[in-house]
Amino acid sequence: MDNGSVSNQIISKRSSVKPKRIDQAIVEIVSDSGEGAQKCGQSLGAISAQMGNGVWTVEIIPAEIQPPARSREGASGIRVRIGSKKVTNMGNHADLVVALNEQVIYGRLRQNAYHKGTIMLIDDRWGTHEVEAIRHQYATALKEFRALGIEVHEIPMEPECLKILPDTRKGKNMWVLGMLSYIFDRDLGKAEEQIRSIFKKKSKAVVDLNIQLLHAGYVWAVDNFPLHYTIPAMEVSAEQVVMNGNQALSLGVMAAGIELCSMYPITPATSVSHHLAENIQKVGGIVHQAEDEIAAIGFAIGASYAGKTPVTVTSGPGLALKTEFLGLAVMAEIPLVIIDVQRGGPSTGLPTKVEQSDLLAAIYGEAGDAPKIVLAASTIEECFHFVILARKLAEAFRTPVILLSDANLATGVQPFPRPKIDTDWIAPPNDQSPWQEGIKPFDWDPQTGLSKRPIPGQKEGMYTVTGLAHGPHGRVAYEPEINQNSAESRSRKIAAFQKTLKPPVIHGDPEGDLLLIGWGSTLGAIEEAVDKGRALGLKVSSLHLRFLFPIVPGLVEIFSRFKKVITVEINYSDTPGDPMITQENRRYAQLAWYLRAKTQCDIDCFSNVYGQPMNPGKVLEMIKKEIANHKSSHVTS
Amino acid sequence: MIGTSHELCTMPLPDHHRDMEDYGKGVARWCPGCGGHSILAAVQRVCKDMQYPPEKTVCVSGIGCSSRFPHYMGTYGFHGLHGRAFPVACGVKFRRPDLNVFVITGDGDCCSIGAGHWVHAIRYNMKMVALLFDNGIYGLTKKQTSPTSPLGTHSNTHPGGSVLPPINPLQTTLGFANVSFVAQTTDWNPAHLYATIRKAADHPGLAFVRIVQRCPVFMRDLYGDIASNPDELIYLSHEKGINVKPGVAKTFKNVLAHDPTNIHKAREYAEITDGIPIGLFYQNIENSRYDDYGAYNMGMSNKVKQNAMEDMLDQYTIRNSIT
Ligand SMILES: Cc1ncc(C[n+]2csc(CCOP(=O)(O)OP(=O)(O)O)c2C)c(N)n1
Ligand SMILES: [Mg+2]
């Protein structure tokens, strides 16, 4: 059958109902693991991006591969936020949720994903289930959801899909995609394209079956569902690409001309190496899966020492294991890019959830004095471009560079302007010309601390790298001055790099009542909250740090223009007023702690470790409260 | 050498003939009587006989007395972290097939803290020579029990004598997947030491050599008597094995014929505790090599890379975003 004409028929059918214009929608699809909710949501996101909408998607991932069915902790799914403007974060509460069972909803309710007015489309099969206990659970749940003000619609997904499928565990997701495509007025042709691309490795029969499901879901919604919206596209001039943060990191690695990714699998960093394993050979590179994280970085350091350009990709527990080698790379001045896609910690922590708790470990994790460059990407676009930047900095300053990302960026999908690949981004080839006689392997420039390094294969450059204290010749040093001098040189080159940085750009007015400071994936949520606060007349601004070590210049002066400065972070801090917590023992969020030390300004923090991306609504609440508090304390004092 | 200049000869000529001095640097700071000195001389001689360009040779070590080795070589060197010589050496070799790599590691370095990497380096089987300086003790940190210390060794961590049986590095290595070359020699038999390292240098894969090494300071008793008595050595003899000059071979009273292609016999002989068997236990030149995999696709032009990148971005590009 010809799908094209079918989709035309379908589209003509619904033309009688005029969709209601909305400027954004937050949609969730939640199910047991393995029901394809993520595929459905990713498709909805991709279709919307292709239609010119702003999009942000976040995956909801349980810790286990196949947790028991119908369990609260097993909630697996995805949130898709679609807008008429650029979307930079996951937003607050969902406007609409599709649930394949009622139990997984409890898991999401615990995370505050829904509120009064959220529309729920739930598979009604559980209401007639042969097991009485399940029927009872379903009925109770629906009562509870309704009591919360959730607008529940029971949808006959099971019987509708059974008309097409013998077993509905695979395929229902595409029926749901069809239903959502009608509800949000998505382009059916693009949805079909999307299905063809998802199943490109499968047979035509599989593709046709899924398109049939898509159409069935669509038609069912046309005939039976009362709600119909449209989200107009935004104006975009530049050509866009749409991908998640880990894909962007991987593409950045390749665009940087990095030819070796030496890694050990760890969530949520692994998919960077999966993407590289699939593609890097096309640009002459290779992935090495090492026996552990220590070996992964050791291997990368060996390759870098031998003039090759490596990256090692990891997450918190892996970063911890790499610290001794990181110290060696600092000491021996070996260029290296380390990507840390952060997750919840300490220890195994929250493997699939977001946290920004590795900041201080990245800056100060090594034993001994080990200055190096630490930067953090705050958007998916930056995930791409910062790898190239990190590679260049590593080589120019002969140092390891840690690039921080996190679980939110890793799986979040957002469109950004398509990069124009430049061959200047690619690491230069290995220099094998003879080493200039008279130049020592650590010929530190007294002004900048910089030096050039010999590469094996360069005649007359022979030297021995050592992690022991060493002078300019690279030989083991026994004189106390040499250790002091070499430490100075390694520190000085980082200072020389700091001199090239510019003060950060402030979002909002350059002065006011409150300044929020963020770093990493919270950018979108913070700026959205600041914009909303400013629309309410509040004097709030924000700034976002990309360079964490060394720190950008001008902060003290900027801070002095605001009555209060607060960092917004996804990591732990004590709450003032809690039992045992005093001004003396209160532990601050990591950036706040660091900035307090750096600037000696009284910087407060707003942080938590619920494992959730930063929520703009919560940030806005905090803004209102802080400004009100400040005003009232001012009046009374 | 051939009596013609570089310009006239169409065949590539070495820059000059290198001698022992080209491979040395400074004065080795090991204790007098330490086995390290003779191993250093043997490696330098092998480099000279192979005419390895010093700039194309890299000695990678961990931490320990033995791991100071690269500092005494006129080649490139990497004196890294305790236990981590193998990962670094593998990283050096992976994309640099043109480099000659030596790994220098101690019994604590290889068999204790670095044991995980030892298993995997053997399995990667990249072309390199790995020399285990086995003195049965932690030397640098001043006499703690090592995993190869004989049972009952009195050390600073086990003053009453060590309580566990030692790891036998030969037996262990012969159990690792993809093992391709295992030999044993001693620091006090320079001819055999040289012949062993020479054979290892020719091996197309990872050549693992356990060198039974004396530590005159902390383990005076361990090999003291044996070293002065050649009868304690058992010479593994075979045409495919490690062959010393007949004059030297004659000095070995105990000779055991062993075909190094026979891994079962190799494992059996690795268990000999009654004397020290020296020679080639096992060699297989057919094993897969991870450096063959690593050298794949090198030297691609920037233009090709750029085009490939643009193709990849195409997959993520939103077509006709506004219709
Ligand atoms: C991570 C780490 N742990 C411990 C040490 C201390 N350390 C240095 S060498 C050594 C043992 C060396 O023994 P071995 O490998 O047998 O070498 P040898 O000195 O006997 O040649 C130890 C424990 C270290 N340098 N690094
Ligand atoms: Mg030892």
Distance of CA A149 to the CA centre of its chain: 32
Task: Inspect the interface and report whether the beta carbons of B308 and A310 lie closer than 8 Å.
Answer: no
Name the residue type at position B41. Answer: A
Condensed to tens digits (0 to 9), the pLDDT of residues B40-49 reads: 999 999 999 9
Task: Inspect the interface and report whether the beta carbons of B317 and A259 lie closer than 8 Å.
Answer: no
The helices-and-strands tally (H runs, E runs) of chain B is 11, 11
Name the residue type at position B251. Answer: T
Say if residue A569 is exposed, middle or buried (CB neighbours under 10 Å; 0-12, 13-18, 19+): buried
Phi, psi torsion values for A72, nearest 5 degrees: -65, -40
- In our burial notation (b when 16+ CB lie closer than 10 A, e otherwise), range B197-209 reads bbbbbebbbbbbb
**Residues of A in Cβ contact (< 8 Å) with B47:** none
Q: Is the pLDDT of residue A484 over 50?
A: yes
Classify residue B318 as left (phi > 0), alpha (psi -120 to 50) or beta: beta
Nearest CA in chain A to B79: A466
Distance CA(A42)–CA(A217), nearest Å, equals 17
- Which atom, in ligand 1's list, is nearest to the CA of B105? 15
Q: Is the pLDDT of residue B322 over 50?
A: no
Distance CA(A161)–CA(A218), nearest Å, equals 12
Residue B142 contacts A, CB cutoff 8 Å: no
Q: Across all residues in chain A, what is the average pLDDT?
A: 94
Distance CA(A175)–CA(A224), nearest Å, equals 14
Instruction: Tell me the mean pLDDT in the region A513-522.
Output: 98
Residue B96 contacts A, CB cutoff 8 Å: yes
Give the pLDDT of residue B4. 46
> The tokens 């902390």 sit on which residue?
B218
Task: Inspect the interface and report whether the beta carbons of B297 and A294 lie closer than 8 Å.
Answer: no
Reading the block at residue A452, the tokens are 């050039």
ipTM of the complex: 0.95
Instruction: Tell me the mean pLDDT in the region A224-234.
Output: 93
Q: Read out DSSP for A409-469?
A: HHH-EEEEEPP---GGGSPPPPP-SPPPTT--TT---TTT-------TTSTT---EEESS-
Say if residue B50 is exposed, middle or buried (CB neighbours under 10 Å; 0-12, 13-18, 19+): middle
Strand pairing report for B137-138 and B57-61? unpaired
> Which of B68, B98, B313 to mutate against chain A (most A CBs within 10 Å)?
B313
Q: Read out DSSP for A223-264?
A: HH----EE-PPP---S-EEEEEHHHHHHHHHHHTT--EEEE-
> The tokens 């807008």 sit on which residue?
A83
Say if residue B319 is exposed, middle or buried (CB neighbours under 10 Å; 0-12, 13-18, 19+): exposed
Angstroms from A457 CA to nearest CA on chain B: 5
Give the pLDDT of residue B71. 97
Q: pLDDT-based confidence at A15, cuts 50/70/90? A: low
Give the pLDDT of residue A24. 96
CATH 3.40.50.970 fits B17-314, yes or no: yes
Q: Read out DSSP for B273-318?
A: -SSEEEEEEEE-TTS--HHHHHTTTTT--HHHHHHHHHHHHHTTBP
Instruction: Tell me the mean pLDDT in the region B26-50.
Output: 96
Q: If we measure between CA atoms, which residue out of B147, B137, B53 comes closest to residue B100?
A: B53
User: By the 8 A CB rule, do B67 and B85 touch?
Assistant: yes
Task: Inspect the interface and report whether the beta carbons of B71 and A476 lie closer than 8 Å.
Answer: yes
Range of weakest confidence among A62-66, A407-411, B19-23, B163-167 = A62-66
User: By the 8 A CB rule, do B307 and B264 touch?
Assistant: no
Angstroms from B202 CA to nearest CA on chain A: 20
Q: pLDDT-based confidence at A114, cuts 50/70/90? A: very high
Residue B114 contacts A, CB cutoff 8 Å: no
Give the pLDDT of residue A635. 58
Give the pLDDT of residue A62. 83
Range of weakest confidence among A59-73, A554-568, B258-272 = A59-73
Reading the block at residue B151, the tokens are 């049972």
Which of the listed ranges A10-24, A410-424, B108-122 does the model predict with the highest average pLDDT? B108-122
Closest partner residue to B96 (CB to CB) among A285, A297, A306 is A306
Residues in chain B: 323
Which ligand is nearest the CA of B105, by number? 1
Instruction: Tell me the mean pLDDT in the region B79-102.
Output: 98
Q: Report the largest interatomic distance among the alpha carbons of chain B, rounded to a whole angstrom.
A: 91
SS3 call for B91 = helix
Q: pLDDT-based confidence at A153, cuts 50/70/90? A: very high
Closest partner residue to B78 (CB to CB) among A49, A290, A465 is A465
Task: Inspect the interface and report whether the beta carbons of A303 and B302 lie closer than 8 Å.
Answer: no
Q: B242 CB less than 6 Å from ligand 1?
A: no
Q: pLDDT-based confidence at A8, cuts 50/70/90? A: low
Task: Inspect the interface and report whether the beta carbons of B95 and A283 lie closer than 8 Å.
Answer: no
Strand pairing report for B206-212 and A286-289? unpaired
User: By the 8 A CB rule, do A232 and A21 touch?
Assistant: yes
**Peptide bond preceding A346 in cis form (omega within 30 of 0):** yes
Give the pLDDT of residue A73. 87
Q: B241 CB less than 6 Å from ligand 1?
A: no
Mutate to test the pocket of ligand 1, among B71, B109, B145, B218 (most ligand atoms within 8 A of CB): B109
Distance CA(A411)–CA(A103), nearest Å, equals 24
Spell out the domains of chain A, with CATH numbers in brackets.
3-230 (3.40.920.10), 242-418 (3.40.50.970), 433-500 (no CATH), 506-636 (3.40.50.920)
Phi, psi torsion values for B44, nearest 5 degrees: -60, -40
Percent of chain A scored above 70 by pLDDT? 97
Closest partner residue to A462 (CB to CB) among B54, B60, B79 is B54
Mutate to test the pocket of ligand 1, among B141, B146, B219 (most ligand atoms within 8 A of CB): B141
SS3 call for A281 = helix
**Residues of A in Cβ contact (< 8 Å) with B23:** none
What distance in angstroms lies between residue A585's CA and the mean position of ligand 1's atoms?
39
Q: Is the pLDDT of residue B321 over 50?
A: no
Instruction: Return the beta strands (E) in chain B as ranges.
Output: 57-61, 76-79, 100-106, 128-134, 137-138, 144-145, 181-186, 206-212, 233-237, 254-257, 276-283
3-state percent breakdown (helix, strand, coil) of chain A, nearest 5: 40, 20, 40
Distance CA(B164)–CA(B112), nearest Å, equals 14
Q: Report the largest interatomic distance among the alpha carbons of chain A, rounded to a whole angstrom.
A: 88
**Peptide bond preceding B14 in cis form (omega within 30 of 0):** no
Distance of CA A290 to the CA centre of its chain: 25
Condensed to tens digits (0 to 9), the pLDDT of residues A205-215 reads: 999 999 999 99
Closest partner residue to B98 (CB to CB) among A243, A254, A457 is A457
What DSSP character marks residue A574? P
Sequence-distant (6+) residues with CB within 8 A of A445 are A451
Rg (CA), chain B: 23
Task: Inspect the interface and report whether the beta carbons of A283 and B309 lie closer than 8 Å.
Answer: yes
Condensed to tens digits (0 to 9), the pLDDT of residues B47-76 reads: 999 999 999 999 999 999 999 999 999 999
Closest partner residue to A241 (CB to CB) among B91, B316, B323 is B316
Condensed to tens digits (0 to 9), the pLDDT of residues A184-222 reads: 999 999 999 999 989 989 999 999 999 999 999 999 999
Task: Inspect the interface and report whether the beta carbons of B78 and A305 lie closer than 8 Å.
Answer: yes
Condensed to tens digits (0 to 9), the pLDDT of residues B177-230 reads: 999 999 999 999 999 999 999 999 999 999 999 999 999 999 988 887 777 787
pTM equals 0.94
Classify residue A52 as left (phi > 0), alpha (psi -120 to 50) or beta: left
Give the pLDDT of residue B301. 95
Residues in chain A: 637
Q: If we measure between CA atoms, which residue out of A451, A368, A285, A6 comes closest to residue B296?
A: A285
What distance in angstroms lies between residue B110's CA and the mean position of ligand 2's atoms?
9
Distance CA(A262)–CA(A329), nearest Å, equals 15
What distance in angstroms lies between residue A301's CA and the mean position of ligand 2's atoms?
25
Mutate to test the pocket of ligand 1, among B61, B68, B82 (most ligand atoms within 8 A of CB): B82
Sequence-distant (6+) residues with CB within 8 A of B2 are B9, B13
Instruction: Tell me the mean pLDDT in the region B4-14.
Output: 55
**Peptide bond preceding A232 in cis form (omega within 30 of 0):** no
Q: Is the pLDDT of residue B255 over 50?
A: yes
Q: Read out DSSP for A307-352?
A: T--EEEEE-HHHHHHHHHHHHHHHHTT--EEEEEEE-B-STT-BTT
